[in-house]
Amino acid sequence: MTLTLNIPRLETDRLILRGPEARDFEPIAAFYADESRSWGFGGPLARDDAWRWLATSIGHWALHGYGFFTMELKDTGTACGITGLWNPEGWPEPELGWILFEGFEGKGLAREGAECARHWAYSDLGMTTLTSNIKPGNDRSIALATRMGAQYERTYDNVHLGEDLLYRHPSPEALR
Amino acid sequence: MSIPPHAPTIDTSDLILRGYREDDFEAMASFGASERARFVGGPQDQWSSWRAFLAGIGHWTLRGYGMWMVEHRETGQVAGRVGMIFNDGWHEPELGWHIYDGFEGKGYAYQACLAARSYSARHFGLDAVISYISPENIRSVALADRLDARFECEGELLGKPCHIYRHPREVNP
């Protein structure tokens, strides 16, 4: 069967989570150009590689039926980050990931978006467990994973990123 | 939100140009890993082929056009990919072709390129398009010639020198 896209639109108090679109390219290119922000997310990437990353993330939805949402502020429509599920070739299992664009951190937006995506994975996709893969030293992400109830499970060698920490989120039952 | 299916299906005498299927990945990854891919950014590992496979799908969403999977009708095997490429860093959309092992020398690339070129001119408004070709890629230069594309100038793609060929106009030439 030919792969097609069917991406839901989710809402939280402050956010819309929607599929990636062409208009997300500039904020994504800016994010990936900044090594201090993107080193834990496969960056830094040159502009043309950031474009391919965006194209890849759309294709991910077609292949798996899940992927990364663009997080948009309800108030202004501004894209403020990315969250969702990522499962590339060679990954140990699907993971929940998140990043914020510059200027949007410290407001609890990543947690709000990521918890929404986690809930969707459990309730709509029927996933029974979820991990987050975090680069050693990415303390902000580790802190958020911990606040979301995830626990360190093991260190493994990621096919693309090298040494990586695997955190496991609470099961759907535990969150009920 | 639902985005319509991407690549439209085009039938030629021997081939079906169509959208991507999960089981196309094997063929694409073996092409990517082979020496045949040396003129199109390869050879590359499984990870890069995975990325290229998904980006090939995403290209249709981002641009409204892209590369088709080319299926050999008689056997159902994937014979390659052809179509319009306009990644960031490209000067303009180009007609590209990747022909997989076992399917060259049969006129399939020519057939697929003609179909993709004609469709893109009529439906995507992409006419008199270019192809980036490495001058060492003798087979591709020969195919460009057969497609009546003409050498236009020396150029550069992502920092690498290449030749730019211009295809003839399809609509109201």
Residue B14: pLDDT band (50, 70, 90) is: very high
Asked if B53 reaches chain A (Cβ–Cβ under 8 Å), the answer is yes
Asked if B23 reaches chain A (Cβ–Cβ under 8 Å), the answer is no
Mean pLDDT on B85-102? 96
Q: How far apart are CA A51 and CA A101, in angstroms?
A: 16
The H or E element spanning position B113 is: helix B108-123
Asked if B161 reaches chain A (Cβ–Cβ under 8 Å), the answer is no
The minimum CA-CA distance between A71 and chain B, rounded to whole Å, is 14
The minimum CA-CA distance between B63 and chain A, rounded to whole Å, is 8
Mean pLDDT on A2-17? 94
What count of other Cβ atoms lies within 10 Å of the Cβ of residue B45? 16
Beta carbons within 8 Å of A75's beta carbon, 6+ residues apart: A14
Mean pLDDT on A138-151? 97
Find out whether B84 and B124 touch, Cβ atoms under 8 Å.
Answer: yes
Three-state secondary structure string covering A14-69: CEEEECCCHHHHHHHHHHHHCHHHHHHHCCCCCHHHHHHHHHHHHHHHHHHCCCEE
**Is the confidence at residue B71, as pLDDT, over 60?**
yes
Q: How far apart are CA B153 and CA A10, in angstroms?
A: 49
What residue spans define the domains of chain A? 10-99+109-175
Beta carbons within 8 Å of B7's beta carbon, 6+ residues apart: A2, B17, B18, B19, B20, B60, B66, B68, B69, B83
For the ranges A24-33, B21-30, B134-143, the maximum mean pLDDT occurs at: A24-33
pLDDT in tens, B127-148: 999 999 999 999 999 999 999 9
Distances from the Cα of B43 to the Cα of A25, B7, B38, B49, B150, angstroms? 28, 26, 5, 9, 28
Position A28 scores a pLDDT of 98
Q: Which of B4, B18, B53 is closest, CB to CB, to A59? A: B53
Average pLDDT for chain B: 93
Beta carbons within 8 Å of A71's beta carbon, 6+ residues apart: A15, A16, A17, A79, A80, A81, A82, A83, A100, A109, A113
Q: Which of B56, B58, B89 is closest, CB to CB, to A54? A: B58
Position A97 scores a pLDDT of 98
Position A8 scores a pLDDT of 96
Q: Do A89 and B61 touch (CB under 8 A)?
A: no
Q: Which CATH architecture has domain B10-166?
A: 3-Layer(aba) Sandwich (3.40)
pTM of the model: 0.94
Position B172 scores a pLDDT of 84
**Is the confidence at residue B22, as pLDDT, over 50?**
yes
Question: For B88, which residue in chain A has the nearest alpha carbon?
Answer: A48
**Is the confidence at residue A173, as pLDDT, over 60?**
yes
Asked if B19 reaches chain A (Cβ–Cβ under 8 Å), the answer is yes
Closest CA to A5 of A21, A28, A25, A27: A21
The phi-psi region of residue B97 (left if phi > 0; otherwise alpha if psi is between -120 and 50; otherwise beta) is beta
Interface of chain A toward chain B, CB-CB under 8 angstroms: 1-9, 18-22, 25, 47-48, 50-52, 54-60, 62-63, 88-90, 159-160
The H or E element spanning position A97 is: strand A95-100
Q: Please report residues of A whose CB lies closer than 8 A to that of B62.
A: 22, 25, 51, 54-55, 58
What residue spans define the domains of chain B? 10-166
Please give the distance of CA B157 from its chain centroid, rounded to a whole number.
16
Residue B4: pLDDT band (50, 70, 90) is: very low
Q: pLDDT above 70 covers what percent of chain B?
A: 97
Mean pLDDT on B24-42? 87
Q: Do B21 and A1 touch (CB under 8 A)?
A: yes
Residue B12: pLDDT band (50, 70, 90) is: very high
ipTM of model: 0.93
Q: Which of A5, A11, A32, A53 to mutate to test the interface with B (most CBs of B within 10 A)?
A: A5
The minimum CA-CA distance between B173 and chain A, rounded to whole Å, is 32
Maximal C-alpha separation, chain A: 43
Tokens 């003798």 correspond to: B138
**Is the confidence at residue B1, as pLDDT, over 70?**
no
Q: Do A9 and B58 touch (CB under 8 A)?
A: no
Q: How far apart are CA A11 and CA A98, in angstroms?
A: 16
Q: Do B54 and A59 touch (CB under 8 A)?
A: yes
Q: Please report residues of B whose CB lies closer than 8 A to that of A67.
A: none
Q: Do A47 and B89 touch (CB under 8 A)?
A: yes
Alpha helices in B1-94 (DSSP H): 25-33, 46-63
CATH class of segment(s) A10-99+109-175: alpha beta
**Is the confidence at residue B165, as pLDDT, over 60?**
yes
**Is the confidence at residue B3, as pLDDT, over 50?**
no
